[in-house]
Structure 1
Amino acid sequence: MEVAVNIHLPFTKDVIKTLKAGDNISVSGVMFTARDAAHKRMAEALAAGKPLPFDLTGQTIYYAGPCPAKPGRVIGSCGPTTSCRMDQFAPALLDLGLLAMVGKGDRSDAVADAIKRNGAVYLAAIGGAGALYANAIKQADVIAYEDLGPESVKRLVVENMPLTVVIDCFGNNLYRRAS
């Protein structure tokens, strides 16, 4: 994958405005993992008026449930999960300041609308390339919901993680372009 842009996380809206659907980028910095069970718990926390495990403002959530690390490794295989499973939760999180989501597969119209409304971005990771992504992860720490095992919320420090912009902040969707 030829990388067009190298970005340091967290994203800013100014950087996001430069990204277009179809761009190949490389990101370095901090992002968080959260999948189905973690999203459900975050929604429950919000409904109960409780704080989330991390401040969403400007952050990136990677839809991944990493495998346990082998000896001498930071993390095990860490490929993306299917993003549409988080679609019921994503608009609310975007409205609270989340700026980027990483996963695989298309998103619902409601998520695409929330991305555009909030000046955010949806990025794709390559399904089946969990070992590649594990190599880009330099640090991984569980910060919430440890009882969920692989689905706990983790703070990741990544370096040169290759991703593709699927839905840009203008609403352009790489998966829905006319051929």
Structure 2
Amino acid sequence: MSTREEGSAREPVRLTTPLTREGNERLRTGDVVLLSGVLYTARDAAHARMAEAIEAKEELPFDVRGQVVYYTGPAPARPGHALGPAGPTTASRMDPYAPLLIERGLLGTVGKGLRSGTVREAMREHGCVYFGAVEGTAALLAERVKEAEIVAYPDLDSEAILRLVVEDFPVIVVNDLHGGDLYREGRERWRRSR
């Protein structure tokens, strides 16, 4: 893919899950991506349980290879909707666990906020991309969810792992496979503009 000019308008990239490393290599920070297919939800408590399963050499509740995990704890669905409002959770809360899943083939995560250096290194090494979802759009994001079902840890209520089927779920590439970091780049652009 050619170098992009700063500030140039780009068409959204459409991706269908499961993701591939080759597809992820084409992405750059700042790309708007419309995800379709399956996403899994998981937050802190679910990640802790998956880490315990990995340590005990047990099966994970879903095959993470090529999958995308959305860090959210959705509200209950209203009548006629697959899911209630589902805004992004702060991704750094999953940082202690994320490398365990990334090493096993997870190729995408969706949340908000910065990722640790350890997580960014694991993502580059194993081909995983970090996508940001826009805060304050929980109800709009939920409208992109066509189906939702609990696949693990129902006792965790809103933190249970859900399998979502989404269509054109809008995210932005925050950390790509080339060392790009949208937060860092944004701060640098701001400093230069002053």
Residues 99-153 of structure 1: CA deviation (Å, up to 9, x unaligned): 0000000100101101111111000001111001100000000000000000000
Cross-structure match for 1:171: 179
1:135 to 2:123 alignment? no
1:95 to 2:103 alignment? yes
Structure 1, unaligned stretches of length 5 or more? none
CA distance in 2, matches of 1:142, 1:2: 36
Corresponding letter in the other structure for 1:171? G
Contact 2:10 2:31 in 1 (8 A): no
CA drift at 1:4:
2.1
Contact 2:149 2:162 in 1 (8 A): yes
Mark the CA change 1:164 to 1:83 in structure 2 (over 3 Å): closer, same or farther.
same
TM-score by length of 1: 0.97
1:161 to 2:158 alignment? no
CA drift at 1:38:
0.2
CA distance in 1, matches of 2:76, 2:121: 35
CA distance in 1, matches of 2:127, 2:52: 25
Contact 2:74 2:87 in 1 (8 A): yes
Residues 17-76 of structure 1: CA deviation (Å, up to 9, x unaligned): 110011011110001000000000000111111110001111100001100011111110
CA RMSD, 1 decimal: 1.2
Identity of aligned residues (%): 48
1:109 to 2:121 alignment? no
Cross-structure match for 1:37: 45
Deviates more, 1:55-64 or 1:169-178: 169-178
Cross-structure match for 1:27: 35
Which of the numbers 41, 53, 56 marks the counterpart of 1:48?
A: 56
CA distance in 2, matches of 1:171, 1:119: 11
The alignment of Structure 1 onto Structure 2 pairs a total of residues equal to 179
CA distance in 2, matches of 1:129, 1:148: 24
Cross-structure match for 2:22: 14
CA drift at 1:3:
4.5
Corresponding letter in the other structure for 2:184? R
TM-score by length of 2: 0.90
Cross-structure match for 1:64: 72
Structure 2, unaligned stretches of length 5 or more? 1-8, 190-194
- Higher CA-based Rg: 2
Q: Residue 77 of structure 1: SS of its match in structure 2?
A: coil
Q: Residue 117 of structure 1: SS of its match in structure 2?
A: helix
